[in-house]
Amino acid sequence: MAKKKTKFVCQECGYESAKWMGKCPGCQSFNTMVEEFEQTASSSSRGFVTSGNRQAKPQAITNIESEKEPRIDTTMRELNRVLGGGIVPGSLVLVGGDPGIGKSTLLLQLSAKLANKEQKVLYISGEESVKQTKIRADRLELSSPELYVLAETDISMIERSIDEVNPVAVVIDSIQTVYQEEISSAPGSVAQVRECTATFMKIAKTRGVAIFIVGHVTKQGSIAGPKLLEHMVDSVLYFEGERHHTYRILRAVKNRFGSTNEMGIFEMKELGLEEVLNPSEIFLEDRSQGVAGSIVVASMEGTRPVLVEIQALVSPTSFGNPRRMATGIDHNRVSLLMAVLEKRVGLLLQTQDAYLNVAGGVRLDEPAIDLAVAISIASSFRDRKTSPFDVAIGEIGLTGEIRRVSRIEQRVNEAAKLGFKRMIIPEKNMGGWTAPKGIKIIGVTTVEEALDTALGGN
């Protein structure tokens, strides 16, 4: 007879304690400790099934034959890019995002595209009935005889349905609604989410079925449930964007089968999500030309160069401490660059408020955007216009030098393709490649030299 174990578990971070506490020691949240009763299962019921019920023995890695399994093409180039080339059979993918952002729409479209290739897909909804899912599919004009829909929250019934249909992919919408009868906690609790995810992981690995699970997001912006949930799955995808704007960004924060630097861009339309194959044109379509405090930068998102506009507004402060606000850029990096401009170039910025923004809602993390940030700040401070045909790339050191950046040729080619005429890059990146026709490349070594080049003629 299995014994019942009583414990208190934080519903925010998964911290466990033998007694109740008002404040969780793990995440410092108040009133999140909930009593849970969990039956301790025997060790034989956990883990993966080994062939012939024999214990696996350690093997030398040189003696293991590598088998390259073909990935499943989703026919969605942006999703393939984020996943690392397609869906890996037997993978467990967690998709998170704000409510109403389009997670269910994306996965329903994915299911229909796979089903149209005569591959069985099982879409399991714990939040909608079968008829409601059908209404949503009709609105998106999605239909296929190979797409199976099930409204179920009991994990034992879900596992039985997977065995009956034998699909290549399964969608669970959402993991917070699925429960296991052996655990007395409510659906969505830490214990239920953890155990149900472990069961889905076992199903994916033993049957070779690709499983997508939808995870709710807390008000802090992280996926609800314990952090262990993200460690258990193979890939974690975040669906970002403003609900009242049409563009959505799909970003991988964890991927065992590909890069985590890739991003896919979609546009929400009447018939669902549509891929944006050239995001640079989207981010620059509303750009104002011939104004101070604006410059374009070529940033790398994985293997894709993306051109975005960086805007800066510098104005005298009315308070003792000037304000520094940044959207889409690291706030600490902005403070560092302003200190370099003040020390190495002589700009008196200590009495100025500074507001920076990356147009389009993209977040830029790489240091290659430093030069564009510095030019936009200096342009706004001096009230000098920048050329609408300039692109700036470069990392800035504390001594004011411009340092080399990676993938310079791809950045330059993207700028030339969109019609830019001049590019300011580090001097160290000038050799070893050929610039395309129609664009002038200028190499700079210091911040002062770069500012003279970008603002000197204005």
Tell whether residue 103 is among the known ligand binding residues. yes
Tell whether residue 425 is among the known ligand binding residues. no
Tell whether residue 249 is among the known ligand binding residues. no
**Cβ distance 358 to 333 under 8 Å?**
no
Tell whether residue 97 is among the known ligand binding residues. yes
Tell whether residue 102 is among the known ligand binding residues. yes
Tell whether residue 431 is among the known ligand binding residues. no
Q: Is the dihedral of CA 264, 268, 274, 277 positive or negative?
A: negative
d(CA 360, CA 309): 8
Tell whether residue 421 is among the known ligand binding residues. no
Q: Taking Cα atoms as reference points, which of 356, 404, 360 lies closest to residue 378?
A: 356
HEC states along the chain? Answer: CCCEEEEEEECCCCCEECCCCCECCCCCCECCEEEEEEECCCHHHCCCCCHHHCCCCCCCHHHCCCCCCCCECCCCHHHHHHHCCCECCCCEEEEEECCCCCHHHHHHHHHHHHHHCCCCEEEEECCCCHHHHHHHHHHCCCCCCCEEEEECCEHHHHHHHHHHHCCCEEEEECHHHCECCCECCCCCCHHHHHHHHHHHHHHHHHHCCEEEEEECECCCCCECCCCHHHHHCCEEEEEECCCCCCEEEEEEEEECCCCCCCEEEEEEECCEEEECCCHHHHHHCCCCCCCECEEEEEEEECCEEEEEEEEEEEEECCCCCCCEEEECCCHHHHHHHHHHHHHHHCCCCCCEEEEEEECCCCCCCCHHHHHHHHHHHHHHHHCCECCCCEEECCEECCCCEEECCCCHHHHHHHHHHCCCCEEEEEHHHCCCCCCCCCCEEEEECEHHHHHHHHHCCC
The 10 Å Cβ neighbour count of residue 355 is 17
The 10 Å Cβ neighbour count of residue 143 is 12
The two tokens of residue 254 are: 């964890």
Tell whether residue 98 is among the known ligand binding residues. yes
- Tell me the binding residues: 97-104
- Tell me the binding residues for ATP: 97-104
